[in-house]
Amino acid sequence: MNSTDLSVLKSAVEWLKAGHRVAIATVVQTWGSSPRPVGSWLAIREDGQVAGSVSGGCVEDDLIRRVQGEILTRNTPEMVVYGVSQQEAARFGLPCGGTLRLLVEPKPELNVLVGLLQSISNHEITRRTVSLDTGISSLELGDRSDIFSWDEKTMKTSYGPRWRMIIIGAGQLSLYTADFALASDFEVIVIDPREEYAEGINREHIQFIKGMPDDVLLEIGVDSHTAVVALTHDPKLDDMALMEALKSPAFYVGALGSRSNTLKRKERLLEFDVTQAEVERLHGPVGIYIGALTPPEIAISILAEVIAVKYGVCIPKKI
């Protein structure tokens, strides 16, 4: 769940607790271009106040009118479709004739939303299932591999930190990288065995684990929604972590260092139980080249590269 959708959940909970009638609209399908992906949602209060977006502003006004005039009087979810015809797409300003299918829940259950908010606060991945026939919803433990799904009977949506960044080292650069990763909706874990760094992490929502990086990576597990970034500049720590990370399904593995140090690191890794193909997965020097000099600038370049890999965007060749 990204920060925008989390704010929608918080608003819906606050409004329901205050006694307002609230409907929640979720994007369940798109055709053509769409400014908001499936799973995005919008909370609409009976007085027309909204939180979130399902179309970037294209259909919200009409949806608010329909919710106020019709949907809030009902007890079960309703499917609403915009942009079936070219005329309607043009009327609502959907880009390139795009089409949106929305599931609107007129009676979201406060206790379920409160439970979902608590699970997210505990950094738990949670799956919410909504019955399209009754509007009744339930929560269960989710998994990073869960994807949004819906059919004629149910809608299933996953919430929580689906993307994770593991940072090796707790120095100044790591703190900036962690802050930017949090702002980009990553769950952040920092690993460092050094006693002098044990109390260096004093950030809310950042998990600090004191231990040898390779042991910790094996213990917590690394999946395809995880990025591993080694930033200690100490081969004894970085290389041990990289040996495990490069053999894992991590979608991104990067390490701090110059081009020459990166070549030397790759040669060292090949002396251990790491294949040539696995070594070639290493992003080094870490980050997209933007001429960065200061720790905040370098952290920005790191996040830029991680996000590019996350979305499958071609990365400029390193200089």
pLDDT tens per residue, the chain (319 residues)?
555 678 899 999 999 999 999 999 999 988 765 567 888 899 999 999 999 888 766 788 889 999 999 999 999 999 998 875 555 555 655 555 567 889 999 999 999 999 999 888 777 889 999 999 999 999 999 887 788 999 989 999 988 767 899 999 999 999 999 999 988 888 899 999 987 776 666 777 788 999 999 999 999 989 888 999 999 988 889 999 999 999 999 999 999 999 999 999 999 999 988 999 999 999 999 999 999 999 999 999 999 999 999 988 888 766 5
What's the pTM? Answer: 0.67
> 175 and 142, same structural domain?
no
> 139 and 194, same structural domain?
no
What per-residue confidence (pLDDT) applies to 203? 73
- Cβ contacts of 8 within 8 Å, gap of 6 or more: 24, 41, 42, 43, 51, 52
317: part of which helix (H) or strand (E)? none
User: Which is nearest to 238 in space by CA: 315, 173, 304, 163?
Assistant: 173
> 137 and 105, same structural domain?
yes
Q: State the residue range of the domain holding 277.
A: 164-310
At which of 159, 180, 197 does a domain end? 159
Q: Would you say residue 317 lies in a domain?
A: no
What per-residue confidence (pLDDT) applies to 54? 83
What per-residue confidence (pLDDT) applies to 34? 58
> 173 and 121, same structural domain?
no
> 200 and 155, same structural domain?
no
Q: Can you tell me whether residue 41 is helix, strand or coil? A: strand
Contact 301, 287 (CB under 8 A): yes
Structure tokens at 298: 């370098």
At which of 114, 143, 159 does a domain end? 159
Structure tokens at 216: 């910790």
What per-residue confidence (pLDDT) applies to 144? 75
What per-residue confidence (pLDDT) applies to 83? 73
What per-residue confidence (pLDDT) applies to 138? 95
At which of 130, 159, 188 does a domain end? 159
DSSP letter at 59 equals S
Alpha-carbon distances of 148 from 37, 127, 134, 151, rounded to whole Å: 10, 9, 20, 11
How many domains is the chain partitioned into structurally? 2
Q: Would you say residue 319 lies in a domain?
A: no
Strands 252-255 and 187-191: what pairing?
unpaired
**HSE of 259, CA atoms in CB hemisphere, 13 A:** 5
Q: Where are the beta strands (DSSP E) in the chain?
A: 22-31, 41-45, 50-52, 78-82, 99-105, 126-131, 137-141, 149-150, 154-159, 164-168, 187-191, 206-209, 226-230, 252-255, 282-283
What per-residue confidence (pLDDT) applies to 4? 62
What per-residue confidence (pLDDT) applies to 5? 75
> 179 and 144, same structural domain?
no
> 155 and 27, same structural domain?
yes
> 190 and 100, same structural domain?
no
Q: Would you say residue 21 lies in a domain?
A: yes
What is the CATH classification number for the domain harbouring 216? 3.40.50.720
Q: Would you say residue 315 lies in a domain?
A: no
What per-residue confidence (pLDDT) applies to 183? 87
> 170 and 41, same structural domain?
no
